[in-house]
Chain A
């Protein structure tokens, strides 16, 4: 096990609602990245946080936002949920280290939007 935890494990929401997903990083790691994995696809990068600042963002609209806390844990917030937001959301923690940075993933949160 990686030591990266995510909560909740499963979540059901309706279209238009808001959701918050949580991630605790592995001990010693200072960076958290979030990915969305739709069914049958590879994960897609949402954004990364380093020292409580957004350190990079993928091709996701502003209704996807995040936070990182002083203990390096993180939240992913999604506003105005759409049906296409149904996916597995993966959090990964790492120690920012250039080329050799290895991201270790948590078990994910499965979100279903009805």
Chain B
């Protein structure tokens, strides 16, 4: 079963509008971390925002905020005031403990965001 689900393969938004990218996750671990990364066409994964499972408040980083609904196991990314430079692939990821005891990230399939004039 998929641990991270991103149901929107592609999204369009007009410049200066807000957009929400969906992410649901599945874990039985009470302690986990959720991340969003941006991947432009150049390929580099750029860290955007982090939410810990015990955090009481939703994370915010500039124009990015994370709408964390723990009971629904969702961690949606909200981008406010979209800019042309926001056009990229966006990945939701969850930190899990790997077999050797270290941390690994499990990624979703991504959402391609296109910002239009």
Contacts and interface: CB of A to CB of B under 8 A. Distances in A.
Interface of A: 2, 31, 33, 35, 41-45, 48, 50, 54-58, 88, 90, 92, 94, 96, 98-108, 110
Interface in B33-67: 33, 35, 37, 42-47, 50, 52-54
Contacts of B103: 33, 48, 56, 94, 96, 98, 101, 103
Given A43-B107, A107-B42, A96 B47 contact: no
Contacts of A55: 98, 100-102
A57 B98 CA distance: 7
Contacts of B37: 105
Interface of B: 4, 31-33, 35, 37, 42-47, 50, 52-54, 91, 93, 95, 97-110
A101 B93 CA distance: 13
SS class, residues of chain A in contact with chain B: strand
B100 A99 contact: no
Contacts of A31: 102
A42 B102 contact: no
A42 to B, nearest CB: 3
A42 B98 contact: no
Contact of B52 (A50, A100, A105): A100
